[in-house]
Amino acid sequence: MTVCESEGFITVDLTKTYPKKELILHDFMDVEYVALETNDDFLCQGIVLAVGREIVIVKNQINDGDLFVFDRNGKALQKFNRKGQGGEEYTGISGITLDEDYGEMYVNTYNKILVYDFFGNFKRSFPHPDGVRYGNLCNFDGEYLICHDSNFDQKGATDKSPFVIISKQDGSVKKEISMACQEKDTAVIKINHNGFIMIGYNTNFSPIPVISYQNSWIITSYLSDTVFQYFPDQSMIPFIVRTPPVNSKNADSYFTPVLLSERYYFLQTQKKEPEVRGTNPNDATLFYRITDLVYDRQEKAIYESTVFNDDYSNKITVDMLQKKGQDEIAFWEKIEAYQLVEALERGELKNDKLKEIAARLDLEDNPVIMLVKHKR
């Protein structure tokens, strides 16, 4: 690992093995627990789609179209369903982005973005451009969204940019964000094992394309050797550089930033490796080795990391590759009611607030949402 002090970016060697480091989540992030109110009209599976300053929006695991709106204290506010085939309806939802200043939610589907108010009233919609599928939307400012084309990485490379800034009113493109991308079939990894070429596919690991960070955005593509930091004035600088390059022969690993705090940059890597089964050294299958890394800005060093939730007496690990939040929310995690009830009975809860929540839960109540927030 190299830190380029003059340029401000770090270089991560994906072929290296790093020393291990254990961290406590509460040492560098704030944690808030939201118990979603349970009543006859608000029974949900608690799949979080969006968290704002004042509201939380969740859906069920099944694609029934129900959307539940809670306030940040967990009080049930609204429930609506606009599932259907009409122009003002969705057949499925890939994500929701909130603009609380204007009271709007941007519901992203496989081919269009629908805009509703927080009561489910339709306001407008606009399609994804031909050949483009927006898989990630983030607020850029009051007028624009920053979007990533999830089709781009699977195309190998095109003359178009994977990232664009579009109008919140009609979806028109204000700017394409240019970044250097390599010609590579990123869906396929080829590994030479004892003279045999083994082929693996990147079907269970995707980079997080856009992460909001200190009034800027961190943008990542499979096809680029560089993770960039993009600013409101539309300038861009290198943030993290990978080695070996994406298009090199031994590029069998990929990585994505997952959480960025004041002191730590958390990354997750995927490496496809042969695993020998039985006595025949050539009898191997490919498997994914997932590794969590952290760059410590104070020590200027990279470690293989494990992060624990200190609200439990036993060592509960935190998976930070969860749905990303916006504004002060870094990510969230769903905790089933029965899990908290049983943890309380076993004496495993240390946090007084969490104990209070668990004490009034029934086993089949709505989930509790753990919100992980940037320290202020």
Lowest-confidence region among 168-182, 267-281, 325-339 = 267-281
Position 376 pLDDT exceeds 60:
yes
Domain count, the chain: 1
Please tell me the distance from the alpha carbon of residue 70 to that of residue 47, in angstroms, as a whole number.
13
Cis ω for the linkage preceding 207 (within 30 of 0): no
CATH classification at residue 123: 2.130.10
Q: What is the pLDDT of residue 17?
A: 93
129 to each of 84, 114, 170, how far by Cα in Å? 22, 14, 12
- Per-residue tokens: 154: 């699977």
Is residue 334's pLDDT more than 50? yes
Mean pLDDT of 172-197: 66
| CB-based contact 23:306 (threshold 8 Å) | yes
pLDDT of residue 4: 47
- Lowest pLDDT segment from 118-122, 165-169, 271-275, 294-298: 271-275
Query: In which band, very low, low, confident or very high, does the pLDDT at 135 lie, cut at 50, 70 and 90?
Result: confident
Residue 181: per-residue pLDDT: 64
Residue 6 pLDDT class (50, 70, 90 cuts): very low
CB atoms within 10 A of CB 75: 13
* Percent helix, percent strand, percent coil in the chain, to nearest 5: 5, 50, 45
Highest mean pLDDT: which range of 51-65, 182-196, 323-337? 51-65
The answer, yes or no, to whether residue 229 has pLDDT greater than 50, is yes
| Domain extent for 331 | 2-374
Mean pLDDT of the chain: 86
- Bridge partners of 173, per DSSP, are 166
Most confident segment among 177-191, 270-284, 289-303? 289-303
Q: CA 11 → CA 20, 184, 229, 291, distances in Å?
A: 18, 21, 14, 17
Instruction: Return the number of other C-beta atoms located less than 10 Å from residue 352's C-beta.
Output: 9
Residues 235, 240, 246, 247, CA torsion sign: positive
Strands 253-260 and 329-335: unpaired
Report if pTM > 0.85: yes
Alpha-carbon span 158 to 224, nearest angstrom: 13
Q: Give the C-alpha separation, 278 to 284, whole Å.
A: 9
Pick 194 or 139 by higher pLDDT.
Answer: 139
Looking at the predicted structure, is the pLDDT value of residue 67 above 70? yes
pLDDT exceeds cutoff 90 at 235: yes
